[in-house]
Chains A and B, each alone.
Chain A
């Protein structure tokens, strides 16, 4: 191999390795920080391990904050994302199926609208939806989060792509000729084939909603907030970031790091076991040439 090419290859490896460090380093740090005391965090090397006692202490600090408010927040997150997941699946799967495999007037319009709306970032509609829901006095109720969370055009599109490529119309027509009703065709023929796309839509809906901040931030503040909003609230009690001087009631940095870990744990775990989903899902956004 000539030296030029060798050098080029080495350079590529260095860049690739540098980015491995860039992406992994903060997460490694986050996993270690909750094991330390504040003093260790400030003075020891960043990648030293604290102690189990340190972790236990931080755990106690975090979970005893406001009588276990963190559990309330996590519970809210689970409730909002969980219920939204069910509603999302219940409305998206039939819709995607119908768009792919049935004919009705307005189908093309609905499909085009879905495409356009799905590319709009969800933050863009937060304040308009807030104003709308406040006009109908729904703000503050769990519905004000669950209902908007359940509107998931990307899920409809994924289902549409799945059914139009993976399930043939002939199969459905055969069932129809056998005298099955449309509902039966859907539940008995299409649904059993839909498991992969259900998992896929579920994955995106749940992780997206779990991590959503802006919408629940305006809709359900305080004790009704999900963990993402709660986490930002915790900041108010960290002396390093906010002036406050009653030491007995504050959250220290290691406990805050633990809180951050809490807030991402479910999604992180889902991510760890579903790399394939993510890839197929994101590439399904576009069709092959």
Chain B
């Protein structure tokens, strides 16, 4: 058997060598093939107008997708429900990276609750064509795109190219419980200072009643710090800036600590069972426009009665500008790898602009749908006060000091602040760590710290 032995060891070597050589060759030559299609402005996969389109979206978007299926039975849809990248989980980014490696498995349409995904989705990675298709280079009609509320597409506009469509605008308003305020004899606050005073009065006169929560990853950064013009999440080119000890940051921190201490800000998530259980003790809450559908008109959440709740202009700081924060407002992306771009276009146009479902419970980003939604809300009289006026004011006053870098401030808030305050620390004690964490994340993503 001796010759055989010899042969196997040689062939074994050969197999290994060929395999490694094969690997090297393959890694070296994986790049996009094909030419840029003039009608679309990017390299288009071979089209098949009958093929099913796969949509990745969160559960909140499901009813709207189903409405589309009813309206357009000719388009075959496969909806895959995920977490919508909530809390900065980067689900979409990691799943797309996996698909990029596999060379297949991309969805045709993807939804994200985050506004910053274009920062990676518009870029080619490791030789694979950027996931997000450019939309204004021929793919979508200029007429359609110009129907968005001015500024709505800013987060997905990179180098003057639009890479996604905005689902809803999510400026922070001040939501208040008219019934409770009247019962207790309080006025609706208009400034953050008055909001804090209201907290003091509630804490002493009506304990167990509360004014919101800091338990959601988005609530802290976007609702409170963004509104306070706190310079903690700023981008200038490749430079990231964060300063939690700035005077604007400090005033927000102090207010939050004060109100967490007296119990008027809770640590529950607005989506949690604990929050829902005490929702009848909620006196007011600053929050985004989509709280309308997510909380007040949701039978499984606050489930407000008509006329019970109202929305007022965003709170402002006495020494600050008339500005507010913003909590997402999801984004839809068309895949540049899609085999059925026409169906994708039909879907996206419907989902962002159809007056019956656009906005998915929030303020539609598409102007005509927004007008319809606002006038519906006004004519139904569901909300107390000048609802449309408050929403429009808020939408026009989102502070433009924050950027859209390739990471979310939510991950550091959940990592540092939420467990920290749960164990009894104050945000003030934690804020240096929070800032450090954001800066570290920025550096890991390739930003310089300034």
Contacts and interface: CB of A to CB of B under 8 A. Distances in A.
Direct contact of A and B (CB under 8 A): yes
Interface of A: 42, 66, 104-106, 130, 132, 134-137, 139-140, 218, 221-223, 233, 236-237, 239-240, 242-250
Contacts of A223: 80
B86 A243 contact: yes
Contact of A130 (B80, B101, B104, B272): B101
B5 A140 contact: no
A224 to B, nearest CB: 8
Given A242-B86, A243-B216, A249 B102 contact: no
Nearest to B274: A240
Nearest to A218: B98
Nearest to B273: A240
Contact of A134 (B80, B101, B269, B273): B101
Given A42-B273, A132-B23, A242-B83, A140 B103 contact: yes
Interface string B189-200: 000000000000
26 contacts: A66-B80, A66-B81, A104-B5, A105-B9, A106-B5, A106-B9, A134-B101, A136-B23, A139-B102, A221-B95, A221-B99, A222-B105, A236-B59, A236-B83, A239-B271, A240-B272, A242-B86, A243-B270, A244-B58, A244-B59, A245-B59, A245-B271, A246-B60, A246-B62, A249-B59, A249-B62
Contact of A237 (B59, B101, B361): B59
Contacts of B63: 246, 248-249
Interface stretch (B129-137, B235-243, B254-262, B296-304): B296-304
Contacts of A104: 1, 5
Interface string B81-110: 111101100010001001101111100000
Contact of B81 (A42, A106, A135, A237): A237
B151 interface: no
B16 interface: no
Contacts of B26: 135-137
B319 interface: no
B419 interface: no
Contacts of B270: 243
A245 B60 contact: yes
B298 to A, nearest CB: 6
B39 interface: no
A106 B270 CA distance: 65
Interface string B48-88: 00000000001111110000000000000001111110110
B27 interface: yes
Contacts, number: 96
Given A106-B8, A137-B103, A139-B103, 6 more contacts: A66-B79, A140-B104, A236-B82, A237-B81, A242-B83, A243-B216
| 6 tightest Cβ-Cβ pairs between the two chains A and B | A140-B102, A236-B83, A139-B102, A243-B271, A105-B5, A134-B101
A245 B294 contact: yes
B22 interface: yes
A240 B82 CA distance: 15
A140 B100 CA distance: 11
B203 to A, nearest CB: 27
Contacts of B101: 130, 134, 139
Contacts of B104: 140
Given A104-B1, A236-B82, A246 B9 contact: no
Contacts of B58: 236, 244
Contacts of B95: 221
B298 A245 contact: yes
B273 A221 contact: no
Contacts of A240: 272-273
A66 B98 CA distance: 22
Contacts of A105: 5, 9
Nearest to B26: A135
Contacts of B105: 140, 221-222
A106 B10 CA distance: 13
A139 B301 CA distance: 42
Contacts of B301: 245
